Amino acid sequence: MSFNSSLLLELRLIQFKQELINKGITLDGELKPVYLHNISADNELGDLNLSSKLNTSWDFMMYLKDLGYKACDAWIAENFEHIGKKNTLKLV
């Protein structure tokens, strides 16, 4: 619970900073844009049951690692040109 609230606070601060930059307020160049991205395998992970959270078997860990690599490859293929240029994660 506390991790989630810390993350949400951090995302709100990033969004506020972005709004200032969009209005031309950069504090003499001190404020720089931050671009956020989200790489996920939510569709595949959504199919797992609750007990998977306790599964620490090597095979399952390798399965998760492979899912992560596949999700990353798919994300890069779709979004590579946006890295360092624009958000691919919507904050609102």
Q: Each residue of 61-82: pLDDT tens digit?
A: 999 999 999 999 999 999 999 9
Q: Does 47 lie in the same domain as 7? A: no
Q: Does 42 lie in the same domain as 17? A: no
| Pairwise CA distance, residues 84 & 29, whole Å | 17
Predicted local confidence at residue 1, as pLDDT: 46
Q: Does 84 lie in the same domain as 48? A: yes
Predicted local confidence at residue 40, as pLDDT: 92
Cα torsion through 89, 28, 24, 19, rounded to 10:
30
Q: Does 52 lie in the same domain as 87? A: yes
Give every residue of the chain whose pLDDT is below 50, as ranges: 1
Which domain covers residue 2, as residue numbers?
1-34
Predicted local confidence at residue 90, as pLDDT: 80
Q: Does 86 lie in the same domain as 57? A: yes
The domain total for the chain is 2
Q: Does 49 lie in the same domain as 23? A: no
Q: Does 81 lie in the same domain as 46? A: yes
